[in-house]
Structure 1
């Protein structure tokens, strides 16, 4: 297989697709995949990709972090991105390459993966919107702090081992409503960590060939194992995730005016009146 060849085998085997169909969109679950050893996901290929990506599409820092860290307190590693990736085994760092689907070869990889599960997704949450891919690289024992993401996400472990601890989405003791509202208004993904939260999470060990479905805004943190870790994250939005964002936006507008906020149900895409109210308020600059 060359770096630009199409995927010769299924990304998600039948049992993984069956499991995904049973839990999507609300549950976290371990899956399996067939991308281990793919040449596009080798360290040198990723260093080359990183060096041709715009600066806004890459993020990297030292990986020895506490589970809770403010974005402004995240320390730099003092290296270039290419050097960070090529020496990831020894430099104690963490890096993410964002929107790698903008590169044609990696876009084809994303398309191949999502095509296999698109019918399952569309049956539950409608068409896949804003399809994106991210690649994470981390040194041994690196930590990805407690955070949440706005997309439907399947993370595929390519190299090394890590433990992802996933928490229920929608638990306001973990993520207060005002923090969700700030997040949807462009706030940072990192969350406030309390050690008492740990018992409420589910720790999932991921080895090469494993994957995990992470629901929208399910808080999680990641602890890397004894070797270098490479993971591919394939993500998408849906009418449901867009609706949730709009409803949090509406609540933020109401809260600022000391008006009662509304409940966001399990099917936010069905709360059409409130979504329309948010769009009108935004258009009017209210």
Structure 2
């Protein structure tokens, strides 16, 4: 049985900041995971080497803010080489679904348990809990993209700046892009220089974190040293409902039928979700 430190990961002030922002606004938080034994470079290299190949993604880190998935260059190294020489190889790596390892699963549960009362009251039970670990060389850039989960990014080693943009802004994420995304399309978004002023920059040092709402576009710029970050994520009735409604609109669009608006409270659009589920069950 895995033992996790019983000290609070999020202090009372961080839990208050989270409660004031969740689920629709980004927020800066503090955390207590700096120096945790599971989050050192040696521990993460060992974790990466025992993970399935499909659970790891890595490539060169100095990328433009807008890059097509097929144009993302590789770094020419193995995964082990990438992590062990991350300080000098100019790369970026992500270890996906580390909760499949019992020790990291226990760490994820400990972090989310402290936030669960707020989440359950606002958006329903925490669903599909997952954790991701990001390792970045100095100066790396994670391009402009969005994610389907509620997310808190905790900075462990080094510094970075995450710039977060409003969710549900169709100039940033056109409706058809959301539909494609929920149908399996890539997370990267088209970048325009005029978008910059719409974002809010969150500089992150070790011990700091940021809450990122579902599908809030963002990009990440690493500081002058190696960066390690832990992302703890979950789905909710709201995020599941939004995905269903965009998928429903995609079906309607393909058939030349009028699409419907996805509201700020998609979990309340029960009739449209029911119709979508029936169509999906019938193979439509």
- Aligned residue for 1:136, secondary structure, equals strand
SS at match of 2:138: coil
The 3-state SS of whatever aligns with 1:124 is helix
Query: Residues 126-185 of structure 1, C-alpha deviation per residue, up to 9 Å, x if partnerless?
Result: 100000000000000000000000000000000000010000000000000000000000
5 Å matches for 1:166-177?
A: 166-177=164-175
Structure 1 residue ranges, 4+ long, deviating more than 6 angstroms after superposition: none
Which residue in 2 is equivalent to 1:106? 104
- Matches of 2:131 and 2:156, distance apart in 1: 14
**Among 272, 278, 281, the residue aligned to 2:279:** 281
User: Would you say 1:77 and 2:75 are equivalent positions?
Assistant: yes
Matched residue of 2:13: which SS?
helix
**Mapping of residues 51-70 of structure 1, within 5 Å:** 51-70=49-68
What secondary structure, in the 3-state scheme, does the structure 1 residue paired with 2:47 have?
A: helix
**Structure-to-structure mapping, 1:106-185, within 5 angstroms:** 106-185=104-183
1:222 CA displacement: 0.2
SS of the counterpart of 2:219? Answer: strand
Q: Among residues 68, 85, 90, which one is paired with 1:87 in the alignment?
A: 85
Looking at structure 2, the residues matched to 279 and 203 of structure 1 have their Cα atoms a distance apart, in angstroms, of: 39
2:237 is matched with 239
Where 2:250 maps in the other structure, the secondary structure is: helix
In structure 2, how many angstroms separate the alpha carbons of the residues matched to 1:8 and 1:239? 29
Task: Give, in whole Å, the separation in 2 of the partners of 1:6 and 1:285.
Answer: 45
Flag structure 2 segments of 5+ consecutive residues without an equivalent. Answer: none
Q: Secondary structure at the match of 1:181?
A: helix
In the TM superposition, residue 284 of structure 1 has moved relative to its aligned partner by 1.1
1:104 deviates by 0.4
Measure the CA separation in 2 of the matches of 1:268 and 1:5: 38
* Number of corresponding residues: 283
- Aligned to 1:89, the other structure's residue is in SS state coil
1:8 Cα shift? 3.2
Any idea what SS the aligned residue of 1:60 has?
strand
SS in 2 for 1:59: strand
Q: Following the alignment from structure 1 to structure 2, what is the Cα–Cα distance between the partners of residues 32 and 255?
A: 43
Q: Distance in 1 between matches of 2:170 and 2:92?
A: 29
Find the counterpart in structure 2 of residue 12 from structure 1: 10
Corresponding residue for residue 44 of structure 1: 42
Q: Distance in 2 between matches of 1:7 and 1:132?
A: 19
TM-score, normalised to structure 2, is: 0.99
Report the CA distance between 1:6 and its aligned residue. Answer: 1.2
Deviation of the 1:82 alpha carbon: 1.2
Once the two structures are TM-superposed, the CA of residue 5 in structure 1 deviates from its matched residue by: 3.6
- Looking at structure 1, the residues matched to 112 and 22 of structure 2 have their Cα atoms a distance apart, in angstroms, of 14
Counterpart-to-counterpart distance in 2, 1:196 and 1:266: 25
Q: Which residue of 2 aligns with 1:225?
A: 223
The CA distance in 2 between the partners of 1:33 and 1:273, in whole Å, is: 40
Q: Indicate the SS of the match to 2:143.
A: strand
* Cα offsets for 1:31-68 (capped at 9, x unmatched): 01000010100001000000000011000000010000
For residues 218 and 92 of structure 1, what CA distance do their matches in structure 2 show? 27
